[in-house]
Amino acid sequence: MDVLTLSRIQFGATIAFHYLYPPLSIGLGLILVIMEGLWLKTGNDLYHQMARFWTRVFALTFAIGVATGIVMEFEFGTNWASYSRFVGDVFGSALAAEGIFAFFLESGFLAVLLFGWEKVGRKLHFFSTCMVALGAHFSAVWIVVANSWMQTPAGYHIVGEGLKARAEVTDFWQVVFNPSSVERLLHTVCGAWCAGAFLVVSVSAWYLLKQRHVAFARASLKVGLLVALGASLLQGFTGHVSAQGVAKNQPAKLAAFEGLYQTTSNAPLVIAGWVDEKNERTVGLTMPYLLSFLAHNDFHAPVTGLDAFKPADRPPVTASFIFFHGMVGIGFALIGVALLGVWCLYRGNLNQSRWLLWLLVFSVLGPQLANQLGWFAAEVGRQPWLVYGVMRTPEGLSAVVKANVVLTSLILFTVIYFLLFSVFVFLLNDKIQHGPDDADLTPAGKLAWPEHKTH
Amino acid sequence: MHPDLNSIWFVLVGVLFTGYAMLDGFDLGIGALHLFTRTDQERRVMLNAIGPVWDGNEVWLVTGGGALFAAFPNVYATAFSGFYLALMLLLASLIFRAVAIEFRSKRPELWWRRMWDVSFAGGSILSSLLIGTALGNLAWGVPIDAQGEFAGTFLGLLTPYPLLVGITTLALFMMHGAIYGVMKTEDKLHDQLRVWAMRCIIFFVICAVTLSMSTLLYVPHMAVRVREHPWLFTVALANMLAIANIPREFHHGRDGRAFVSSCAAIITLMALFALNLYPNMIYSLPNPENSLTIYNAASSPKTLGIMLIIACIGIPVVVAYTVSIYWIFRGKVKMDRMSY
């Protein structure tokens, strides 16, 4: 394999593995804030127990997220040096801002969140939890801004020629608020909330199935399901807004998502099907007019097809189609699962339906898969560009790095990440089997309630 | 120095990497000393001494890397693609180390704990050596072609002088870690660490003297600025005084001040390195005209200006809460249910 393919595999594999964890940190971060907030508001120590248990799970996902995240930052320079030189002026600022505003906030207050339970008062601890969650959300802001700039570059100009050419900032706020950054950020964060919420839902449902820690599981399930419902509904909405942005800003990508070869008015939406690349058509179950409506709010509007682009400028169609449809399908399924769960919770018969509890147990895989597919769709759909319309992917490679060296590091990472993943699963299972700590039902140290409030 | 934006960013990137060396330095040092401890209890105390803070300390490296990318993209691109294998090894050892801290205490079995003990110590030692060797190569000079690309090989980076800097860095971090350990522990382990700290100081001083002599003999360009401005020799003097102060503080039982001295030693060393490197970022050998400097490798003045605003808002806040968090976790290690 050539150095381009190997570098793309390595970046794709390391980012996909990394991206299992940050959404969990972001989603669990929000849920920790809710749980600890409920504890402070209601004084019910069950919420304290919940916050403590989920903090331990959070710590696990956070640790692996940091360790695999450093790799990502280094890989821009190691494998994509020409890209780094070209975009450093624009992209680097976002990365530096991420370090200063997000990572320090997150990792600093994490110390208090994890180890400060009995060292600081309740309010300061809650403040730290909020700061950790805020830091996790900030980190999403800056990295999505940087990636969105690669999708829809704005606020820059090209200086220099040939090998010395590079993008320089002309307007920082246009870089930050480039045409796709806000909608993509919202979509990414909702996906992260889903990941955290469905993890809580899954573990709680499992406890209910096994009749363990029932009070804890019921209360956790309630918080988890409500966040899951809110997040998955918002996810559908932000997804729609995001897709309209793609239709406007990256028509080739939208055409590939939908397998639309000919520019069509009254374009139909493909619900499920496959792409026949040889004959340049897409076969399957379609809904007439719907794509035109979804993309442009008009049943008759023309939607740009792949025929508007030279073959060299088209993204891989089958892959984009599958990733996009997979993501959307799972997204709708998650809304269904969350609605069903909340409905049964409201009716009070959730405990009786074991099949639903089992469904909830497995629902944790949904957001993870959809998040991965969504990013695959976003990145594959951008091809053959590294920076859309500005720089092609092969142009971004490091000039001095050879294929055998990349192969070596790829093998190294594959081994380490397999090890890491098995250890993660082992420890997560360990924490789940161990369950919440009953000692947490009576907060100690500085967290203890004043005497008159204890019951 | 003229206070232009490029120089300011040279200093800021230097501050971030110095912060990393000062903070993660003691984490790495604790790791390098880890296998010298005998009992499980002692090892847990060592881990929990850095428990709440190691994560935040590593962020200095991430932010330093980000700042280098943003302010000097050519340096970032050339160094990272040129030092490819070395960086991959550094990443692997940092991952093993981080994961070891997190996972060691999760199971009681002996083989499990041994495995992570070795990962933690091995990862810490290898990271220190690699970081030092990279710095050594920057001091010695690396082959850079006319396009600003690295023109050497991986094995070409492992020459005696850079390796000496690597060993010196390991010695420095071990000394720093031992002193941090003295500050955070009690009783038997405390006394033991004090003995180790003294030995590490001797180890470091031997390395530092050897390194200074070889720098003067073989790497004269790294002494030019001090030679031209003799008053800068006070920085080297301050370094030696800071080191000499450590046993004195120990003698008076002021472990905290000993640690501050050790921090001062790191700051002065980094300052000496930066003073002599400036205005180069990557010195090119054998063609100095190809060197990457703070001018030919930098981002546009506009970006440097924007980032300076970001830094001015962000860094004071970061320093404020970093100090508060160290304050909350001050004092000796106390184990509880949440400990590693």
- Residues B66 and B311: their CA atoms lie apart, in Å, by 12
Question: Among partner residues B61, B77, B322, which is closest to A85 by beta-carbon distance?
Answer: B77
What distances in angstroms separate CA B15 from CA A239, B10, B61, B64, B238, one per listed residue? Answer: 42, 9, 11, 9, 18
Q: Do A196 and A158 share a structural domain?
A: no
Q: Do A269 and A126 share a structural domain?
A: no
The mean pLDDT of chain A is 87
Mean per-residue pLDDT, A325-332: 92
Asked if residue A394 is part of any domain, the answer here is no
Q: Which residues of B are less than 8 Å from A103 in CB distance?
A: 59, 62-63
Sign of CA dihedral A139, A141, A146, A151: positive
More reliable by pLDDT, A444 or B292: B292
pLDDT band at A431 (very low <50, low <70, confident <90, very high): confident
Q: Do A130 and A147 share a structural domain?
A: yes
pLDDT number for residue A454? 46
Cβ-contact A275, A314 below 8 angstroms: no
Mean per-residue pLDDT, B143-167: 88
Residue in chain A nearest B330 by alpha carbon: A119
- Residues A48 and A299: their CA atoms lie apart, in Å, by 52
Mean per-residue pLDDT, A135-147: 90
Domain limit, last residue, from A381, A410, A444? A381
Tens of pLDDT, residue by residue over A109-130, are 888 888 877 778 888 889 989 9
Q: Dihedral angle at the C-alpha atoms of B94, B98, B100, B105, nearest 10 degrees?
A: 170
Q: Which residues of B are less than 8 Å from A400 in CB distance?
A: 81-82, 84, 149-151
Pull the structure tokens for residue A180.
């796709």
pLDDT number for residue B338? 66
Q: Which residues of B are less than 8 Å from A163 in CB distance?
A: 147
What is the Cβ-side half-sphere exposure of residue B212, based on CA atoms within 13 angstroms?
13
Mean per-residue pLDDT, A51-57: 90
Q: Do A230 and A202 share a structural domain?
A: yes
The values of phi and psi at residue A273, to 5°, are: 165, -165
pLDDT number for residue A450? 61
- Of chain B, the percentage scoring pLDDT greater than 90 comes to 26
Q: Do A117 and A3 share a structural domain?
A: yes
Q: What is the DSSP letter of B253?
A: T
What distances in angstroms separate CA B222 from CA B138, B168, B227, B274, one per listed residue? Answer: 10, 16, 10, 9
Residue A97 forms contact with B (CB below 8 Å) = yes
Residue A16 forms contact with B (CB below 8 Å) = no
Q: Do A241 and A119 share a structural domain?
A: no
Domain count, chain A: 2
Pull the structure tokens for residue A224.
């988890």
Residues 6+ apart with CB under 8 A from B121: B31, B32, B34, B35
The values of phi and psi at residue A157, to 5°, are: -140, 160
Pull the structure tokens for residue A379.
């990145």
More reliable by pLDDT, A328 or A99: A328
ipTM confidence: 0.82
Q: Do A449 and A316 share a structural domain?
A: no
More reliable by pLDDT, B218 or A288: B218
Note if the pTM is more than 0.90: no
Asked if residue A390 is part of any domain, the answer here is no
Asked if residue A392 is part of any domain, the answer here is no
**Is the pLDDT confidence value at A260 over 90?**
no
Question: Among partner residues A84, A98, A108, which is closest to B73 by beta-carbon distance?
Answer: A84
Cβ-contact A96, B67 below 8 angstroms: yes
Which of B324, B325, B333, B334 would you mutate first to test chain A, the one with the most A CBs within 10 A? B325
pLDDT band at A144 (very low <50, low <70, confident <90, very high): very high
Tens of pLDDT, residue by residue over B44-83, are 888 888 877 887 788 888 888 888 888 899 899 898 988 8
Mean per-residue pLDDT, A432-452: 73
Domain limit, last residue, from A329, A351, A381? A381
Tens of pLDDT, residue by residue over B203-231, are 999 998 999 899 888 988 888 888 888 88
pLDDT number for residue B126? 94
Burial of A5 (0-12, 13-18, 19+ CB in 10 A): exposed
pLDDT band at B337 (very low <50, low <70, confident <90, very high): low
- Residues A196 and A366: their CA atoms lie apart, in Å, by 11
Q: Do A231 and A115 share a structural domain?
A: no
The mean pLDDT of chain B is 87
Cβ-contact B191, B173 below 8 angstroms: no
What distances in angstroms separate CA B293 from CA A181, A237, A324, A331, B276, one per listed residue? Answer: 34, 49, 45, 50, 13
Cβ-contact A166, A158 below 8 angstroms: yes
pLDDT band at A411 (very low <50, low <70, confident <90, very high): very high
**Is the pLDDT confidence value at A375 over 90?**
yes
**Is the pLDDT confidence value at A347 over 90?**
no
**Is the pLDDT confidence value at A39 over 50?**
yes
Contact B106 A427 (CB under 8 A): yes
**Is the pLDDT confidence value at A455 over 50?**
no
Question: Among partner residues A108, A115, A423, which is closest to B321 by beta-carbon distance?
Answer: A108
Distance, in angstroms, between B58 CA and closest chain A CA?
Answer: 9
Name residue A155's amino acid. Answer: G
Asked if residue A217 is part of any domain, the answer here is yes
pLDDT band at B3 (very low <50, low <70, confident <90, very high): low
CB proximity under 8 Å: A 372-431 to B: 398-401, 405, 408-409, 412-413, 416, 420, 423, 427, 430
**Is the pLDDT confidence value at A102 over 90?**
no
Q: Do A317 and A195 share a structural domain?
A: yes
Contact B328 A116 (CB under 8 A): yes
- Residues A432 and A417: their CA atoms lie apart, in Å, by 22
Mean per-residue pLDDT, B138-148: 86
pLDDT number for residue B1? 47
Which of B13, B80, B118 would you mutate first to test chain A, the one with the most A CBs within 10 A? B80
pLDDT number for residue B154? 83
Q: Do A309 and A412 share a structural domain?
A: no
Domain residue spans in chain B?
5-202+282-328
Range of the domain at A285: 187-249+251-381
Cβ-contact B131, B58 below 8 angstroms: no
Q: Do A166 and A283 share a structural domain?
A: no
pLDDT number for residue A137? 92
Asked if residue A107 is part of any domain, the answer here is yes
Tens of pLDDT, residue by residue over B287-330, are 888 888 888 888 888 888 888 888 888 888 888 878 888 887 78
**Is the pLDDT confidence value at B173 over 90?**
yes
Q: Where are the beta strands (DSSP E) in chain B?
A: 280-282, 292-293
pLDDT number for residue A31? 94
Mean per-residue pLDDT, B179-186: 88
